[in-house]
């Protein structure tokens, strides 16, 4: 659910919310604004390859709180959207039946910047996912080697 119009109004900002309708439409608007050297403000997410294509700056909104978000139904929302939390899950038997795989998954972690770089290699640089992964592995041995059992 989106509260963009409510958020803009409650923060006292003089903006008109225009819904692009799709990711592709948002990207097209961003491309057009950049080519014309015009400012643009849009709601987007990371990781995404667009952060490798353009130098984008995040606009800091008041921090999300459960109390603020609870006010949304009353039209009073004036904070950021809640963060998405990603978790790793595995079969409960994995730890005993495949301890090396379990240890790998437990240690597996890489930065948002690394994710953006990989996505950009595929989306913008037209590499295959396998080529992008290979290039990342060659460049980031210190990261992935820490995931392996010793």
Question: In degrees rounded to 5, what are phi and psi of residue 82?
Answer: -70, 150
Query: By the 8 A CB rule, do 24 and 15 touch?
Result: no
d(CA 78, CA 80): 7
Sequential pLDDT tens for the chain (150 residues): 688 889 999 999 999 888 889 999 999 999 999 999 999 999 888 999 999 999 999 999 999 999 998 887 788 889 998 888 888 899 999 999 999 999 999 999 989 999 999 999 999 999 999 999 999 999 999 999 999 977
Q: Which long-range contacts (CB under 8 A, 24 or more apart) does 139-143 make?
A: 140/110, 140/114, 143/110, 143/114
Task: Say if pTM beats, i.e. exceeds, 0.85.
Answer: no
- Give the three-class secondary structure for 66: helix
Residue 145: both structure tokens together: 């080697």
d(CA 144, CA 15): 44
Query: By the 8 A CB rule, do 88 and 109 touch?
Result: no
Torsion 111-115-116-117 (CA) sign = positive
Other beta carbons within 10 Å of 119: 19
């Amino acid at each position: 659910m989106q509260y963009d119009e409510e958020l803009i109004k409650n923060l006292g900002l003089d903006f008109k919310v225009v819904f692009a309708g799709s990711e592709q439409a948002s990207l097209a608007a961003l491309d057009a604004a950049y080519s014309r050297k015009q400012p643009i403000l849009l709601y987007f997410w990371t990781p995404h390859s667009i952060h490798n294509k353009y130098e984008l700056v995040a606009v800091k909104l008041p921090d999300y709180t459960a109390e603020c978000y609870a006010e949304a139904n009353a039209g009073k929302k004036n904070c950021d959207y809640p963060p998405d939390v990603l978790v790793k899950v595995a079969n409960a038997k994995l730890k005993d039946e495949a301890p090396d795989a379990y240890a790998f998954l437990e240690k597996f972690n890489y930065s948002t910047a690394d994710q953006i770089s990989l996505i950009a290699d595929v989306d913008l640089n037209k590499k295959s996912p396998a080529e992008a992964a290979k290039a990342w592995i060659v460049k980031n041995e210190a990261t992935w080697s820490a995931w392996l059992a010793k």
